[in-house]
Structure 1
Amino acid sequence: MAFGTDIHMEKADAGSIRGEQEDIAVGCWFTSRGDTSLQLLKYQDEEGQIHTIRHIRVMSREEKHYNGIPTLEYICRIEEGGYEAEIKLLFFLEEHRWAMIKQTEKGAAGGFLT
């Protein structure tokens, strides 16, 4: 007699990442409970200039699987040059790699593409 104890135990896969990924550097601390505290991020623009952002406010954090790859997805508000923007950061758990998702024209009006 089967009771289905192992059915639907895995989280749903979020599919493919939509939008252009840009590799970035992120400085973060880990709390005593293992939570992350994002301190700064660095990215390189099209002209090759490196930008450092220190004002980061995490709005949400969610564990996701993109095509089976375990990922932490952060929606953040950042302040740069007097402007505030909402960005999406991804941390790929197996690769220990950070990426920022660039907005496309379609995503600019309606938020981020995921």
Structure 2
Amino acid sequence: MSAFGIGINTEMTDAGTINGKQFEVACDCWFTSKCNSRPILIKFEGEDGEIQTIKNIKVITHESKNYSGIPSIEYLCKAIIGGLMQEFKLVFFPIECRWVMVI
């Protein structure tokens, strides 16, 4: 512990706001025996109104974050979208049980 409380209470810092275009998604997720989640497949409505499916999601990293005080788990992922390998984020809000894809 340092003087004046500097460096304490930093385990739940706020990550601010989510930057990028957000899409509400439905996510098929696998939970390990240790209750860790792994996204497998997502579906969302594209800008053209068609339902898009993204399979074979590769999770690069994941970490717990707070966006505007709301707890979440952020996954940095890669998958083939529109014939090209794309990097994107999936954010899970456990209190709301809601998934968002950020491009």
| Interval of TM-score (by shorter of Structure 1 and Structure 2) | 0.7 to 0.9
Q: SS of the counterpart of 1:55? A: coil
**Offset at residue 93 of structure 1 (A):** 1.4
Unaligned runs of 5+ in 1: 103-114
Residue matched to 1:109: none
Moved over 6 A (4+): none
Alpha-carbon distance between aligned partners in 1 of 2:21 and 2:81, rounded to the nearest angstrom: 21
Residue matched to 1:84: 85
Give the CA RMSD over aligned residues: 1.7
**Offset at residue 45 of structure 1 (A):** 1.0
TM-score (norm 2): 0.85
In the alignment, residue 16 of structure 2 is paired with which amino acid? G
Unaligned runs of 5+ in 2: none
**Offset at residue 48 of structure 1 (A):** 0.7
Alpha-carbon distance between aligned partners in 1 of 2:82 and 2:17, rounded to the nearest angstrom: 32
TM-score (norm 1): 0.78
